[in-house]
Structure 1
Amino acid sequence: MDVKAAIKEIKQGKVSPLYLCYGTEKYQMQQFITLLQEQIVDPDQRDFALAHFDLAETPVEVVIEEAETPPFLAERKLIIAKDSAVFTAGRDNSKIEHKLETLLTYCANPAEYSVIVFMANSEKLDERKKIVKTMKSEGIVLSFLPLSGAELVQWVVREVEGRGCRIGTDAAEALIASAGVQLSALSVEVDKLCLYTGPGGKIEPSTVEQLVARSTEQNVFVMVENIANLKLEKALDIFYELLKQREEPIKIAALIARQFRIMLQVKDLARQSYSQQQIASQLSLHPYAVKIAGEQARKFEATALRGILSELAELDYRMKSGRVDKVLGLEMFLLKLGA
């Protein structure tokens, strides 16, 4: 079952006694848990019907004991157990020993008055483990992984519409380019933009540019995008703005090199028929960053990208050794690249 189907069932009153949520997209995972809490827990009964556990500090059998204890002054209770490394691969660095037999026994006959949500901050589960197989057969396992490029734009559009405003694809992409790909940060910026435009208003790219501040990394990302699109004047404007903000030219050069390195890696992997999601996993990047890097990379030959990286390595050496003025050296590199 996917997240959308699970949410639909919960809104219809069909709640499973066992959920295992895993993935790196914490914001969406928290939204799902908030929805569960709204459906199960009466705000006036929160002290009696809501329990939190950290499995890095608490044995899983304590969670089961809580689940088997009937709720006080409430029909059902929600139990949230985070840091559930018992479901993932690799070593569990906590010093807590978990009696998984207790959990396996409980899964076969869960209490009808309790809902347990296990949270695992990992891209994958260990499919070899018996407890994972049991959770898949007896409960509901949900994946919360980063959204693809198109899904991220759609998410921004839905969030804006949910606040009573409108936004086009171009403005949504401008927002992502400025604020980054973290949903929590995007949500804050959406709130700000909707407050500015007012109910029924439309968020334009110019509004995003006016109100959303870019980090150094995002500024370099947009600068490289402008270079790829042969918009040298805009790229230099960003460069000079970064200098006004007292950003170190060596740091700017390193971030430019990182972006071109990603472009080359994406180009090489795409040539080997890797999908966008596979490339993102291989490079430990967000799928949206892979999408943009792929679009940028199409405007350069692989040999040209390798040449640019070689020039950046030489520039880095000359700046650090004092053989060239840092600002002048980077400025000349951008002018040459843009030409």
Structure 2
Amino acid sequence: MGRGARHRLLSERGWLIHSVSGTGAPAGTPGVDPESLIPGGGGGTAAVHYHEALAEIRKGTLRSVYLVFGEEGFLVEELYRALRAAVVRPETADFNFHVLEPGPDQIGQALRLAQTQPFFAERRLVVVKECPAIVPRRRGGPEEEAPADGGDADLLRYLEAPVPTTVLLFLATAVDARRKVTRALMAAGAAVECQPLKPEDAAMWVQRRAESQGKRLGTQAAHLLVERVGTDLRLLAGELEKLVLYVGRAAEIRPRDVETMVASLAETEIYRLSDAVLRRERAQAVALLERLLGQVDHPLQLLSALAGRFRQLLLVKALAARRLPPREAAQRARMHPYAYGKMAELAAAADRDAIIRALKRLLEADLAIKSGFDPRITLETVVAELTGGEVASET
């Protein structure tokens, strides 16, 4: 298969892959930059790949117009931060950095700022968020492109000859490539699509990120990290940062390092569920419960985790009543001082008798499930009860 045919096939599958070596090699082969594996919008768009745009910006090679869009907020924010660092000097930021939210005259304001010379700086940065001229129309709207209003027409004229001393950045979660302004933006500057990655591509992404931090992350360790954390790049970046600190001067992050330092996704979610229940955040607790029921081996794991947290809450409340120094109290509770402090805040607002009632209710649920009652219904009922005021404040 020739290079052009291969690119068309990949585009049809929703992926635009940039080959650093120019070989057009498929994903996962030498010469392909893992950070270039960002989902594209299919063939026909003038897309610039994420890593290419980021490298240009960090080298100081700036374009006059950028369109950055997609649902992977971590990548969008990283490009945004890189552009701001490259364009805006802190001492003149008040005069040369502008963020415009959607509004009646958003395009007009953006153009007036874009056509104004920067104040004691080489460039100004104008950020336009969720511009109505490029985002998809709501359902029920007209199918065909409506005639451009004055603002759209002015923007189209500006894009034909952008002001070189202004960087005009459009940010959106999604864009409609059929609209005139969207097409003009893609033609005038760099259109970078940032969508969530599949697990195999997230593993390649985190490997490259580890390399940029001076560490080698092997394939097995990378896949284990993604398996435990998921494909959320913000979470992956955070866990990688912990691993880099953990291994210290070692050149490689090994699978056993990941096993030691990174809790499984289910373990992390169980902790968040317990925290949501303790804080009586019903919507959050119910959403987490629904996800976890499909991840754990048995629902009793969730009940056990919840009971453990309530027992911990009762212990911390008892230690707080003795007015022990925080560090000594944390040692007695066998908790990290930071975790103890957070639990102490919850304990201070909780009634002791209500905590005991909650523990009894969890025990009843445990017995009910073991006696044959439906685990899902039992758990949903308990979580609803415990987040509905069962652990009432003493105030």
TM-score by length of 1: 0.61
Deviation at 1:246, TM superposition (A): 2.2
Q: CA 1:158 to 1:328, structure 2 compared with 1: closer, same or farther past 3 Å?
A: farther
Map of 1:297 onto structure 2: none
Map of 2:227 onto structure 1: 177
Deviation at 1:153, TM superposition (A): 0.2
Q: Does 1:121 find its partner at 2:173? A: yes
Q: CA 1:132 to 1:170, structure 2 compared with 1: closer, same or farther past 3 Å?
A: same
For residues 36 and 193 of structure 1, the distance between their equivalents in structure 2, rounded to whole angstroms, comes to 28
Aligned-residue identity in percent: 27
Given that 1:165 and 1:202 are in contact with CA atoms closer than 8 Å, whether structure 2 keeps it comes out as yes
Map of 2:369 onto structure 1: 326
Map of 2:98 onto structure 1: 51
Map of 1:144 onto structure 2: 194
> 3-state SS of the aligned residue for 1:245?
helix
Moved over 6 A (4+): 330-333
Deviation at 1:74, TM superposition (A): 0.7
Deviation at 1:141, TM superposition (A): 1.4
Alignment of 1:138-287 (within 5 A): 138-213=188-263, 214-216=268-270, 223=296, 235=297, 241-246=301-306
Given that 1:67 and 1:79 are in contact with CA atoms closer than 8 Å, whether structure 2 keeps it comes out as yes
Moved more, 67-76 or 42-51: 42-51
Deviation at 1:71, TM superposition (A): 1.0
For residues 302 and 259 of structure 2, the distance between their equivalents in structure 1, rounded to whole angstroms, comes to 16
For residues 56 and 157 of structure 1, the distance between their equivalents in structure 2, rounded to whole angstroms, comes to 41
Q: Aligned-pair RMSD on alpha carbons?
A: 3.1
Deviation track 1:139-172 (CA, whole Å, cap 9, x = no partner) reads 2211111123322001111222222333222222
Map of 2:123 onto structure 1: 76
Map of 1:7 onto structure 2: 54
AA matched with 1:189: E
Given that 1:164 and 1:200 are in contact with CA atoms closer than 8 Å, whether structure 2 keeps it comes out as no
For residues 218 and 269 of structure 2, the distance between their equivalents in structure 1, rounded to whole angstroms, comes to 23
> 3-state SS of the aligned residue for 2:99?
strand
* Structure 1: stretches of 5+ with no match in the other structure: 224-234, 248-321, 334-339
Q: CA 1:155 to 1:331, structure 2 compared with 1: closer, same or farther past 3 Å?
A: farther
Q: CA 1:330 to 1:108, structure 2 compared with 1: closer, same or farther past 3 Å?
A: farther
AA matched with 2:165: Y
> 3-state SS of the aligned residue for 1:29?
helix
Deviation at 1:182, TM superposition (A): 1.2
For residues 247 and 373 of structure 2, the distance between their equivalents in structure 1, rounded to whole angstroms, comes to 39
For residues 151 and 370 of structure 2, the distance between their equivalents in structure 1, rounded to whole angstroms, comes to 60
Deviation at 1:51, TM superposition (A): 1.6
AA matched with 1:113: T
Q: CA 1:28 to 1:326, structure 2 compared with 1: closer, same or farther past 3 Å?
A: same
> 3-state SS of the aligned residue for 2:171?
strand
Q: Which has the higher contact order (CA 8 A, sep 6+)?
A: 1
- Alignment length, in residue pairs? 239
Equivalent of residue 153 in structure 2, options 89, 101, 114: 101
Given that 1:52 and 1:80 are in contact with CA atoms closer than 8 Å, whether structure 2 keeps it comes out as yes
For residues 111 and 332 of structure 1, the distance between their equivalents in structure 2, rounded to whole angstroms, comes to 63
Deviation at 1:12, TM superposition (A): 4.5
AA matched with 2:231: V
Q: CA 1:241 to 1:174, structure 2 compared with 1: closer, same or farther past 3 Å?
A: farther
> 3-state SS of the aligned residue for 1:84?
coil
Map of 1:303 onto structure 2: none
Given that 1:24 and 1:145 are in contact with CA atoms closer than 8 Å, whether structure 2 keeps it comes out as yes
Q: Does 1:135 find its partner at 2:185? A: yes
Deviation track 1:16-47 (CA, whole Å, cap 9, x = no partner) reads 11111111011111111222223222343333
